[in-house]
Amino acid sequence: MTQEKFGEKDFQTIIGNLLRYGVWTSLSVAFIGGIVYLLHHGNELEDYSVFKENDRNIFEVITAVYQGVIQGRGESIIFLGIVLLFLTPVFRVLLSLFSFFLEKDYLYVVITTIVIGIIVLSISFGFSH
């Protein structure tokens, strides 16, 4: 019995499944959040004539979403679905970094690390004013 090396094809399968299941999971969570929201607020009219800017930082937003999901608030569940949708390709980049590291492809390790740094910086500065 020969032991096969965990190869690039295996990582491609894992990455494909991550993307597929990540999208389906995030869509399911957002859909459930939409149903919950409509059950509680379906008859209300929303006023979109005034834009309300959010001045909270990323940690306050994450805390508010977490608490809202625990309380079963539909809008927080929808937002969690959106966050999961956003995180799906981020996890793909992290998995690619791990794959490149195992393959000892250090040029792509550096490039992928730069991409992760850009993502972290854009998230950090995107939520603070």
Spatial CB neighbours of 103, under 8 Å, sequence gap ≥ 6? 8
Listed by start position, the domains of the chain span 9-41+55-127
Report in angstroms the alpha-carbon separations of 76 from 2, 80, 82, 94, 118: 50, 6, 10, 26, 26
* pTM for this prediction: 0.75
Q: What is the pLDDT along the chain (129 residues), one digit of tens a residue?
A: 444 566 667 878 888 899 999 999 999 999 999 999 999 887 777 777 777 776 677 778 889 999 999 999 999 999 999 999 989 999 999 998 988 888 888 999 999 999 999 988 887 776 554
Rounded Cα gap, residues 60 and 65, in angstroms: 9
Token look-up 């499944």 returns 17
Rounded Cα gap, residues 65 and 85, in angstroms: 15
